[in-house]
């Protein structure tokens, strides 16, 4: 049997293209390294990059989609233990973030109490609210400070922005505070602008009313109301609130004066029990009503004050006429007084 052996060795001419390509590559590499940025090979490179750039941008979304698919596949491939660990870590981070936010808000509230203490040079103790009454007949809160902390019955209690009530009972570790809005509450008060004195009382509807004010006293929306200290029930000169509405006009015995408290107890969480304050606390109060309260009060008092202004104007005009002044001067005086009464 004859055997046919074939020669499988590559032909000598098959290596020549490879050798030529290698030599050309080395030559181009040497030229590229020696020429400047404006050389022919560099210009060819820049042209090719400009042509390929749109294709790269078009392929970017596809690459992102592929990476997302790979990540999803990896997540699906994760075992249940790994997923449980990640969930636990996420829950811990969420709890830590929530706690940090609580600390931040608490620091803001305590800073407001500290500012109040510095403003009035108050000697007192800060306390947390640990209880609240739930009925309108008995509006009280419970604080976590008592006789062991120096708290006594009758002491004034303030929120971050003003007086909120008075201590009515105390034990070793806590005390009960009757709020100003309680129907049984009453605080001797002073109107800062006119120095008129009266009593701020609470009501079932949660409003504060300034009573026992002389009928001839001119009370305006925005007037600041302070504790007067009469009777020793409240520390003198501390901010209660501002006049929000006046129902009726000066000279009317049935006039009702509504006071907007400068602090709200609805969301109150900390309070300041006042042992003593600066003797000139009344002069340190520079509070003004909020825009919303002032606007509401002015709208509610427009008609009443307008009527007061006209009455004042007519009265002054009559006085000027009786004194023999000229008619034009008398009318001008009446109009000016009327305008001033309307602005008040």
Closest CA to 304 of 259, 254, 261, 240: 254
| Domain total in the chain | 1
pLDDT, tens only, 180-229: 999 999 999 999 989 999 999 999 888 899 999 888 888 999 999 999 99
pLDDT, tens only, 59-98: 566 666 667 666 666 666 567 888 888 889 999 999 999 9
71 inside domain: no
Residue 192 is encoded by which pair of tokens? 């800062």
Distance CA 268, CA 8 (A): 98
pTM: 0.56
12 inside domain: no
135 inside domain: no
Q: Check if the beta carbon of residue 297 is closer than 8 Å to that of residue 222.
A: yes
302 inside domain: yes
241 inside domain: yes
192 inside domain: yes
pLDDT tier for residue 296 given thresholds of 50, 70 and 90: very low
pLDDT of residue 74: 62
213 inside domain: yes
Distance CA 176, CA 203 (A): 19
pLDDT of residue 100: 92
74 inside domain: no
What range does the domain containing 193 cover?
182-265+298-343
CATH number at residue 253: 2.40.10.350
């Amino acid at each position: 049997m004859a055997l046919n052996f074939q020669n499988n060795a590559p032909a000598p001419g098959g290596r020549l293209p490879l050798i030529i390509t290698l030599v050309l590559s080395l030559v181009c590499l040497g030229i590229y390294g020696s020429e400047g940025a404006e050389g022919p090979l560099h210009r060819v490179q820049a042209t090719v990059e400009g042509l390929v750039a749109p294709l790269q941008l078009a392929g970017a979304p596809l690459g992102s989609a592929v990476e997302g698919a790979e990540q999803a596949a990896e997540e699906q491939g994760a075992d249940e233990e790994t997923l449980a660990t990640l969930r636990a870590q996420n829950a811990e981070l969420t709890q830590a973030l929530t706690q940090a936010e609580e600390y931040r808000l608490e620091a803001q509230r305590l800073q407001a109490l500290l500012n109040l203490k510095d403003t009035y040079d108050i000697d007192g103790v800060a306390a947390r609210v640990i209880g609240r009454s739930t009925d309108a007949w008995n509006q009280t809160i419970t604080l976590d400070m008592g006789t062991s902390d120096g708290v006594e019955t009758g002491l004034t209690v303030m929120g971050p922005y003003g007086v909120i009530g008075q201590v009515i009972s105390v034990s070793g570790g806590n005390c009960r505070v009757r709020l100003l809005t309680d129907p049984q509450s009453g605080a001797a008060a002073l109107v800062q602008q006119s120095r008129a004195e009266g009593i701020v009382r609470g009501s079932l509807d949660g409003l504060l009313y300034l009573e026992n004010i002389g009928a001839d006293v001119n009370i305006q929306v925005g007037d600041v109301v302070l504790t007067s200290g009469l009777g020793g029930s409240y520390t003198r000169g501390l901010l209660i609130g501002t006049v929000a509405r006046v129902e009726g006009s000066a000279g009317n015995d049935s006039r009702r004066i509504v006071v907007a408290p400068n602090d709200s107890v609805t969301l109150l969480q900390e309070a300041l029990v006042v042992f003593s304050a600066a003797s000139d606390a009344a002069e340190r109060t520079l509070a003004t009503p909020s825009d919303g309260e002032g606007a509401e009060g002015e709208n509610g008092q427009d008609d009443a004050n307008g009527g007061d202004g006209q009455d004042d104007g007519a009265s002054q005009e009559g006085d000027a006429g009786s004194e023999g002044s000229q008619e034009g001067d008398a009318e001008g005086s009446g109009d000016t007084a009327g305008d001033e009464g309307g602005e008040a």
